[in-house]
């Protein structure tokens, strides 16, 4: 997977954004569970399993991330390309 980042400094969280949580050096993507359970989760992009609890709103998710510390890669700022493994 290749991520090209072009910084636009959009800081509002939304579905599809990528988050790097301080201290664990792994990338997570914000996904919506509205079709099944409602709310939002962040899922580990490496293995697809690790996730934090579900959140009823993006505001609650953001408040939890602020406590942990995070870097945001807004979906407005990147182009994601799936690449075959070498």
Decide if 49 is inside a domain.
yes
Give the pLDDT confidence score for residue 10 in this predicted structure. 52
Instruction: Specify the higher pLDDT residue, 28 or 46.
Output: 28
Query: What's the CATH code of the domain at 20?
Result: 2.30.30
Q: How far apart are CA 63 and CA 84, in angstroms?
A: 36
**pLDDT cut 90: percent of the chain above it:** 2
* Structural domain count, the chain: 1
SS3 label, residue 4: strand
pLDDT tens string 35-65: 666 789 888 888 776 666 788 889 998 988 8
Domain encompassing residue 8: 2-81
Query: Which of 22, 21, 27, 24 has the alpha carbon at shortest distance from 3?
Result: 27
Residue 10 within any structural domain of the chain: yes
Alpha-carbon gap, residue 50 to 56, rounded angstroms: 19
Domain-embedded: residue 86 = no
Instruction: Kindly report the pTM of this predicted structure.
Output: 0.72
- CA atoms in the 13 A half-sphere facing the CB of 76: 8
């Amino acid at each position: 997977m290749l991520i090209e980042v072009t910084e636009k400094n959009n800081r509002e969280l939304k579905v599809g954004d990528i988050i790097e949580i301080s201290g664990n050096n792994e990338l997570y993507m914000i996904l919506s569970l509205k079709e099944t359970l409602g709310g939002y989760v962040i899922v580990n992009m490496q293995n697809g399993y690790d996730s934090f609890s579900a959140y009823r709103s993006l505001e609650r998710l953001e408040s939890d991330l602020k406590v942990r510390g995070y870097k945001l890669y807004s979906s407005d700022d990147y182009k994601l390309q799936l690449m075959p493994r070498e």
